[in-house]
Amino acid sequence: MIGDSLEHYFTNNSNLKSELRTILYEKKGFVFTFFSDLGVFSKNHLDYGSRLLIDNIIENENKITNILDVGCGYGLLGIVLGKIYNCPVTMSDVNKRCIHLSNMNIEKNKIMGQALLSDCYSNITGTYDLIVTNPPIKAGKKIVFNILDEAYKYLNKNGHLWFVMRKDHGAKSMLKLIENRYTCEIICKSKGFYVIKAKIR
């Protein structure tokens, strides 16, 4: 049921009030400013799982020439990684407010790239060295599976899909569902979150 306080962050509600706020973040000597607002995921703080994902990607990946951030929210993953790897980023979300905020944040943080409204990969073209996602658990298992399973079509030959998921949100069963498609490695376990790196088989 979607309504009132149960309004989920992935819905498009044009009546939703706006209360813009900023969140600061420092990584690798860069200081980032994120505009955030009502109705988006983790609106007041940067999600622990997403920060864990960023830290593990930075520790494990050297050269990356382009990035796709699926379910970008206000753009945390794509913007931080795009800056650190100094490469173009495509970001997508099904929520219009997220796209608006991500494009503001791209400009604010001087990143190469753009955010596009897209249901999973519906408006995505091209292939990428890195696909990154903190998938929308609240959108349901089918959408999460779709985002992970379909990523292979948009990965470069030696590219990697990285994602974060909580153990109690079914990380292990999701790994089973995608194992025919990818070789998956659990790179880090922390506070109930798994950070996973997947390579096409």
Ligand X SMILES: C[S@@+](CC[C@H](N)C(=O)[O-])C[C@H]1O[C@@H](n2cnc3c(N)ncnc32)[C@H](O)[C@@H]1O
Q: Is 50 in the site for ligand X (CB under 6 A)?
A: yes
Least separation in angstroms between residue 158's CB and ligand X is 24
Cβ pair 130, 53 in contact under 8 A = no
φ and ψ of 113, to 5 deg = 145, -170
Could you tell me where the DSSP H helices lie in the chain? 48-60, 76-85, 96-108, 141-150, 171-178
Q: Is 119 in the site for ligand X (CB under 6 A)?
A: yes
Least separation in angstroms between residue 159's CB and ligand X is 18
Cβ pair 84, 57 in contact under 8 A = no
Least separation in angstroms between residue 139's CB and ligand X is 4
Q: Which stretch binds ligand X (CB under 6 A): 19-27, 40-48, 80-88, 171-179?
A: 40-48
Q: Is 95 in the site for ligand X (CB under 6 A)?
A: yes
Q: Looking at beta carbons only, is 50 or 56 nearer to ligand X?
A: 50
Closest to 15 measured CA to CA, from 38, 43, 35, 41: 38
CA distance 164 to 90: 19
Q: Is 124 in the site for ligand X (CB under 6 A)?
A: no
- Burial code (b: 16+ CB inside 10 Å, e: under 16) for 111-130 equals bebebbebebbeebeeebbb
Q: Which stretch binds ligand X (CB under 6 A): 18-26, 71-79, 154-162, 168-176?
A: 71-79
Least separation in angstroms between residue 9's CB and ligand X is 6
Q: Is 76 in the site for ligand X (CB under 6 A)?
A: yes
Least separation in angstroms between residue 1's CB and ligand X is 17
Provide CB contacts within 8 A for 11, sequence distance 6+.
Answer: 2, 39, 95
Please give the residue ranges that form the binding site for ligand X (CB under 6 A): 9-10, 41-42, 47, 50, 70-73, 76-77, 92-95, 98, 119-120, 134, 136, 139, 143
